[in-house]
Structure 1
């Protein structure tokens, strides 16, 4: 006698898909991953003050490698750890080459400027990155661009992100010019994930407001219960 398996409903499939999706915090490795990401910079500043540049570089690299090994032994996601090791290695290489401790933060400073310019330029070109990235990640495509007000919501969120990245660049570049290595380390941490959380809230607000309008206009399916 042949048995048949009950077909999964569309709601079941959507629910399963949502369960597989990871939040931004989970993709960063959770709260522990956020803390781990800040450790190499903290260790570099402390070790540099105590033992000099070479000691600071070596300590930062060892911490980054230790985090990767710890994740490997716990069978956790290696993506955040490997990204951290790669970033620390490049920063350490630049600092080693120039012989200046402040150059450990050089890539992050100019990456912030590049991010700010990219966000502003995307608004000028009427393709705000907040909307493009969010809707691509959630599988909604570019339907949001059909609604002028939705684009405006994402413009605002994108400009908030541009302001965050611009503030990072302005503050850290000032500290870089002043050769304030310790303050650079503090600014990198304080203006990192805490400010990104503010930016994420702006994007979440824009997405919610846009989805509400698009569902009312029939451009997005209504949420199933």
Structure 2
């Protein structure tokens, strides 16, 4: 190994070493999509929103709030009966309840989307700040979940890849905030529901591809820099 490679190896330290064939095994990291129940979990998350918008157009705000929360509860119980983890089964109930509370307090159907709009802004700002301080959150979270620690930060290409992945995710939340805030100001409740769903799964899917690329690039880099046993 060259002296430059030796310096990188020294920075990476022992944490970058792959487990030896001595019975030591890393637990496989759960796929990100699995954390929300897979593709079906993403679909379930949008159904209460559709119920709210349809009910609001037919019977008004208060019944629509009740319908959305009730539907989310029934959906959660149904998912739980299918042996899905409780956290996944009821993950959307709290969010729907909070959105319904805000809509009730504002007296407007568009208030149902207000928490989500501002949450997008907050998350986008946090992600951007993490890149500016050189601790991109995508790399931090992924490597914490997989138990690899922070050795990736000593490798500039890995750090750069996670910067790009974090910025890709930042752009998703920024786009969601800008578009949905504009629709909120325009009182376009139906289009808000459409934007919430359409700008959720498709955009996150594109960002996920960038995140996957960054993780694979970093893993290859660290593996190549690990001294042979």
Q: State TM-score, norm by structure 1.
A: 0.88
1:201 to 186, 200, 209: 209
- Give the whole-Å Cα distance in 2 for the aligned partners of 1:92 and 1:148: 45
- Give the whole-Å Cα distance in 2 for the aligned partners of 1:202 and 1:141: 21
- Give the whole-Å Cα distance in 1 for the aligned partners of 2:187 and 2:122: 22
Segments of structure 1 that go 5 or more residues without pairing to the other structure are 1-8
1:126 to 124, 134, 137: 134
- Alignment of 1:189 with 2:197, yes or no, is yes
- Give the whole-Å Cα distance in 2 for the aligned partners of 1:36 and 1:212: 35
Q: Which residue of 1 aligns with 2:182?
A: 174
Aligned CA distance change for structure 1 residues 11 and 88 (closer, same or farther; 3 Å): farther
- Would you say the 8 A contact 1:64–1:81 is kept in 2? no
Listed as ranges, the matches of 1:20-35 within 5 Å are: 21-35=29-43
| Structural RMSD (CA) | 1.9
Q: Which residue of 2 aligns with 1:101?
A: 109
Q: Which residue of 1 aligns with 2:125?
A: 117
- Alignment of 1:165 with 2:154, yes or no, is no
Higher RCO (C-alpha 8 Å, min separation 6) = 2
- Would you say the 8 A contact 1:120–1:162 is kept in 2? yes
Aligned CA distance change for structure 1 residues 127 and 176 (closer, same or farther; 3 Å): same
Q: Which residue of 2 aligns with 1:14?
A: 25
- Give the whole-Å Cα distance in 2 for the aligned partners of 1:98 and 1:58: 16
Listed as ranges, the matches of 1:70-85 within 5 Å are: 70-85=78-93
Q: How many residues align?
A: 210
What is the CA-CA distance between 1:22 and the residue it aligns to? 2.8
Runs of 4+ aligned structure 1 residues displaced above 6 Å come to: none
Secondary structure of the corresponding residue to residue 14 of structure 1: coil
Secondary structure of the corresponding residue to residue 90 of structure 2: helix
- Give the whole-Å Cα distance in 2 for the aligned partners of 1:43 and 1:24: 27
Aligned CA distance change for structure 1 residues 93 and 11 (closer, same or farther; 3 Å): farther
- Give the whole-Å Cα distance in 1 for the aligned partners of 2:199 and 2:113: 13
